[in-house]
Each structure stands twice: as structure tokens, then as C-alpha cells.
Structure 1
């Protein structure tokens, strides 16, 4: 029997230009759970675009706050939702100067235009708050994580929180592509810069909510279950 996984993400409001841009770029609306028409960036191959976005499409448009986890023994989805509502009410929105299309190695994502210590703190507060709901990593998941090169600090985070990129290793990003061939990263980034500028008004962005996503089994896509406005 497959065990669902949950994740705490930042996902923009479903009626916002940012959510619509991200969903159309990936071809998937995690709010409805439905495929949607791709908005292929200018100059990119329409036939190849679904393949370039296949990996992030599994997760929906988001920024990770608490990485996917199975529920700890004695915990259930209803308790998780109630706790998320409670935690969100005690947190404050974080204003950002804006989001910029950035190449992070071989994939392209939206990242904060300027560093934010408040955002780093918010993310780590959420990681720590939800720890009682996280089951320990399975042997297979642990092996998969350890297959990537990790610093001693990353390994310590992995052991403590089930994910290596938290705390000072956290980098807020909203993934727009999967891993790309090195020779096309610059071209696709430039195309996404233009597409983002056309679809999303320039200016400040507020990280003003957190969303609970669920994946029914490892072969399924993540879907947005609920969204909680911070401070409400």
C-alpha cells in the first residue's frame, strides 16, 4: 500500500498572475490537479517544452518550505491541516523586492531579487515547527539523498530534518525547468525572463501564505490541499 507524502510550500494565490505564469510554464495547475495549456516561452521549441518541464510538473509550481515527508506514526491529515492553520496565524508575511529568473546550475527558477534574512528565518521556523509530523526517512530515501555530494553541515541537516537544504543552506526558488543541457541554459533562461516580464507585473512580492500539498503515491503529482494566509 502506497503512503502519501505531504509538503509545506509557498504557492501564490490561485488567481494571481504569478500562479498563472508558473502553472502555464509547467502545464499543470496544482490547485485543480489538471493539465493546462503550456505557455511556451518565445523562441523555445513547443514540442520539446513538455519534456524540459516534466520534473517540476510533478511537484506543481511552488517554493519548498518543508520538503516532502510521510506522516509520523499517530499523526493524520486532519491534524496536519489544523496545525498548519494554527502555525500560519502566528507568522508574518515577508516582503521581497521582487523575483528574478535565475539559472541555478542546469535548471532555471525564480529567486528573490535581493537576499532576505526574514525569508530565511521564516523557512527555518516552518521546517522546525512541522518536525513532529515528519516520519523518519526510509532507508531508500536516505540512500537517495546520500547519493548526492553533501557537506558535513548538509548531512547534519539531513539527519535532523530529513532534508539537507534548510537553515543557512536554504535557498528560496520556484523551479521552472528540469535539468537542462548546459548549452541551452542561457537561451532558455533568456526566454523565461521575457515570458515572466510579459506575464507578471514587475515590483515587490509578498511571501504571504503557505500551502499544504499532498502526493498520493510516488507515481502521482503533488496537489494543493489548502492554503493558509500568514498572520490571519
Structure 2
């Protein structure tokens, strides 16, 4: 586990969601390399996807954090191993929907079991890694625009350093930055062109992943993927991402 400016515990999409979503964003989260766009992908998508491209294709479990004094990358590794050892593979049904002004793959309304499993995993991640998190600086808190948050979200920001955890958490795999009007509809149509064939298929959830930001302003890249069976894979050889479907 490398020494980095910030760490995050994410869910790395698997199977065709990983391949197609990464190409839509234009960057591989494992290598940091730029990717060829999808056939027919609009040139405007480079602008639509600039914000999520910085973080790499993912769903947030434990939001990015700096290490508190006395903690090390080895502690992040150990915490991720513990978390992964406490769960089993499962799957979720996804659909593209707007969320707070951007487009994302979210858990389908009908998939109540998937939503419960994801919520439990995210809750455990927030609690399990919080002792490693340095307190937010005033600048970091201000960037979350607390004046625009609900009272519940402000309470989460103050306690956990992020406004969207526990009762305010919504699982999502971000596919665009904030858009409105025609741009939002154009982006939705662009996503539908490659994602609609995936409707009805379940995306396997095989484990959790640590992503790192080497220095302030750098793009996030995956460092290590932790399987629910107790094994792990460094990101450069993340073969599990294309493994068999979960039960």
C-alpha cells in the first residue's frame, strides 16, 4: 500500500460495467491510462465526464480522507482486509438515474436486497476506517458547502467528514459531472446507447478496493482490490473484476 495524500475505500465496478463505464469516462482507474471512447460517443462527453474521470470509475463506500498522525498505509491495508473478510459476494441491479444534478448508475428500485447489502457495506466501511481519518480542515469543510446541506447532512459532515453517509447515503457510480437541460438529456442518451443492453443483468459485487491520490490535485487510482474470500489483488493485475457472477 503506497504512501499517499488521500485514501478512499471504493467499490470497483465489475464485468461490462467496468469496461464500458471506464471507456465512457475515458480513463482506467487501475492504471491511470487514457482509454479510447466508445463507438459513437459524443465529443462533448469529455466535458461531461471531467469531474468523475478525476476519481476513476467507482462507487464510494468510505470517502477520501487523509491519514491521521500515527497511522500508516499498512493500517489502511489492514482495515480493508478486515472489512472484506466480513462479507460475501452478492450482486446488484443497476439503472442510470440523475442524482444531485449528475447522472449515475444507481441500484434499481426493485432491488431492495441489493440496496440493503450495499448500505450495510458502506456503513461498515465508514465506521471501520474512521479511526484512520485526519479531521477535516476548515477549507475541506467549506468545499462541501455546508450552507447548502440539510441539517442531517451537516451533522454527518461534522461527525464523519462527509455529508452523504449512513441515513444520507445513496449508492451511485458517477458517470457525469453536474449537468442541466439539454446537456443532461444528451448525456443520458449517450449512456443509454451503451448501458441499456445491460438492463436486467446483475452486477457482481466481489469485494472492496482502496483508491489513492498520490498528491494534492492528482487523479485517484486503484491501489489494491480486496476480495470477500480473503485474498487481494494489486490493481495492475485485477483479474477478479471480470470474474464469475456472484450468487
**TM-score (ref. length: structure 2):** 0.84
Any runs of at least 4 consecutive aligned residues in structure 1 with deviations exceeding 6 A, and if so which? none
> Alpha-carbon deviation of 1:10?
0.3
Answer yes or no: is the 8 Å Cα contact 1:101–1:108 preserved in 2: yes
Answer yes or no: is the 8 Å Cα contact 2:96–2:104 preserved in 1: yes
Answer yes or no: is the 8 Å Cα contact 2:96–2:106 preserved in 1: yes
Unpaired segments ≥5 residues, structure 2: 231-247
> Alpha-carbon deviation of 1:181?
3.1
2:179 corresponds to which residue?
180
Answer yes or no: is the 8 Å Cα contact 2:5–2:213 preserved in 1: yes
Q: Distance in 2 between matches of 1:145 and 1:208?
A: 31
1:31-67 CA-to-partner distances (Å, cap 9, x unmatched) read 0111111226x4x532x22111110000000000011
Is residue 2:30 matched to residue 1:35? Answer: no
Closer, same or farther in 2 for the Cα pair 1:209/1:134, shift >3 Å?
A: same
> Alpha-carbon deviation of 1:123?
0.8
> Alpha-carbon deviation of 1:147?
4.4
1:167-199 CA-to-partner distances (Å, cap 9, x unmatched) read 11100000111112322212321221221134x
SS in 1 for 2:79: helix
> Alpha-carbon deviation of 1:134?
0.5
1:183-226 CA-to-partner distances (Å, cap 9, x unmatched) read 2212321221221134x474122322110000012211000000
Answer yes or no: is the 8 Å Cα contact 1:88–1:210 preserved in 2: yes
2:192 corresponds to which residue?
193
1:93 corresponds to which residue?
89
Answer yes or no: is the 8 Å Cα contact 1:12–1:209 preserved in 2: no
Q: How many residues align?
A: 224
Q: Which one of 94, 100, 103 corresponds to residue 98 of structure 2?
A: 103
Paired residues for 1:150-161 under 5 Å: 150-161=149-160
SS in 2 for 1:195: helix
Answer yes or no: is the 8 Å Cα contact 2:6–2:214 preserved in 1: yes
> Alpha-carbon deviation of 1:166?
0.5
2:208 corresponds to which residue?
210
1:79-116 CA-to-partner distances (Å, cap 9, x unmatched) read 211221122111233432x1111122431110111342
Q: Distance in 2 between matches of 1:38 and 1:118?
A: 32
Q: Distance in 1 between matches of 2:172 and 2:50?
A: 17
2:234 corresponds to which residue?
none
Paired residues for 1:211-226 under 5 Å: 211-226=209-224
Unpaired segments ≥5 residues, structure 1: none
Aligned-pair RMSD on alpha carbons? 2.0
> Alpha-carbon deviation of 1:158?
1.0
